[in-house]
Each structure stands twice: as structure tokens, then as C-alpha cells.
Amino acid sequence: MTTTLLSVARTLDNCTVLGPGTRAVIWVQGCPLRCRGCVAAETLPFEGGTPRPVAELTEWLVGLSQVAGGVEGVTLSGGEPFSQAAALVELIDTVRARRPDFSVMAYSGFRYEALCRGDAGRRALLDRLDLLIDGPYVASKHGSLRWRGSANQRVLALSDRYAHVLTESDTSAGIELSLATDGSFAWAGVPPTSGFREGFEAHLAARGFVLHAEARREP
């Protein structure tokens, strides 16, 4: 039996600014696009991620969904989730075998129409999504938008689960900071203004902190 691996840049147990409700987040490693001003530059190379067994990620997600006040789903970000479609399809199926109501939202730098014309693996991932944020980030179209950076990107309800979000307020969900017990910290969310990351990192650097790709605090 082969072990399916997903190349992961990082994960987050708990997030309320990247999709509806409280969600786990997986940032996959690797993206074939190079959007100018991409806020996740460290996730772009296909080398350098951590290979994580799908079975291990399944246990993690199921566990997060079972605790009181746990997550209602996962958001797949990156990097480009559709570059690892087969592993993500397996992950969704194994989680939903145990938690049928587990929701899935994904980002893609590709437009929905292009994904529909893609290979069977990409279409299989599309079939399993409740929400898709599609299209490349375009810095000149940056705005304070819910869950996405630029106005060309669309929020598409691919199931009935979250169809209601399309009628809700469409302003930035903000940024969340999280601090781990080991002193490391990270941020998540889509900045409401362009250049946020550079300004934030400069602000931290002036106070002796460096935000690495792994979002780790300098000792």
C-alpha cells in the first residue's frame, strides 16, 4: 500500500478569516503562477515543503472537528492547491468518510472555467468543494474584500452549503495573529491593503522580531 503525501508549507488549527466559520487551514507548497505582489512568496517553489502523509492530515482534521467548538471545515490555500489535486481529493474523501458534513473551501490562481477544462484530478477536486476563490491576484485591483485580495477574484459557491455568503457583506475579514506556546507566531488572512506584509515585517524587524517563512520568533 502506498502512502500518499501532500507537500505542505504550513497548517493552522483554527482560523476565522479565511472562509466561513472556524476553519483549519492548509497552505500547500508550490505554485506555477507568479502573481506580482503575492503575499505568500515562500509557498511558491515546489521544493521546500514538508511532505505530510494524507493519513496523518486526516487524523489532524478529524480531531479538530470533534472537539467542542471545533472547526467546521478546512480551507486549502497555498501555493496552488490544484497542483496537488489528487492528494487533496484523497484527503477530503478520507475525512468525509468519518465527518460527512466537513466543509472544504479552496483558493486557486486559475479561473473556474480553466479548472473545469483541466484534467480529471482537478475536476475531482472541484467536485468536492463548497467554496472556491478563483483567479490570480492582481495588485492593481487590490481592495478590502472578503477572503480575497483583488476584485477580479470571485467567491463561487459550488454547493448549497455556503450559498448564503454571496449575499453577505463583502469587506475584508481582517488578519489574525496566533502565538504558539514555543513563542513562534504567524499571521493569517488576506490583507485589506496592498503592501501589508512588507510594512508588517518592517514593523516587527524594528522591534527585534523576524517573521520567517515558518513564522518563527527569533530567540
Which residue among 8, 9, 28, 40 contacts ligand SF4 (CB under 6 A)? 40
Task: Compute the CA torsion angle 148, 149, 154, 160 (nearest 10 deg).
Answer: 10
Q: Establish if 5 lies at the interface with ligand SF4 (CB under 6 A).
A: no
Q: Following DSSP, what letter does each residue of 22-55 receive, concatenated?
A: SEEEEEES--S---TT-TTGGG-SSSS-EEEEHH
Q: Establish if 19 lies at the interface with ligand SF4 (CB under 6 A).
A: no
- Taking CB under 6 A as the binding criterion, the range among 17-25, 74-82, 93-101, 111-119 that sits at the site for ligand SF4 is 74-82
- Taking CB under 6 A as the binding criterion, the range among 18-26, 67-75, 76-84, 209-217 that sits at the site for ligand SF4 is 76-84
Task: Compute the CA torsion angle 19, 25, 31, 37 (nearest 10 deg).
Answer: 60
Residue 25 near residue 32, CB atoms below 8 Å: no
How does 193-218 read in b/e, with b if 16+ C-beta sit within 10 Å? ebebbeeeeeeeeeeeeebeeebbbe
- Taking CB under 6 A as the binding criterion, the range among 35-43, 90-98, 115-123, 195-203 that sits at the site for ligand SF4 is 35-43
Distance of alpha carbon 112 from its chain centroid, rounded? Answer: 17
From 84, 195, 108, select the one nearest 158 (Cα to Cα).
Answer: 108
Q: Establish if 137 lies at the interface with ligand SF4 (CB under 6 A).
A: yes
Minimum CB–partner distance for residue 194 and ligand SF4 (Å)? 12
Q: Establish if 109 lies at the interface with ligand SF4 (CB under 6 A).
A: yes
Nearer to ligand SF4, 73 or 136 (CB): 136
- Taking CB under 6 A as the binding criterion, the range among 18-26, 60-68, 77-85, 93-101 that sits at the site for ligand SF4 is 77-85
Q: Would you tell me which residues interact with ligand SF4 (CB under 6 A)?
A: 31, 33-35, 38, 40, 44, 78-80, 109, 136-137
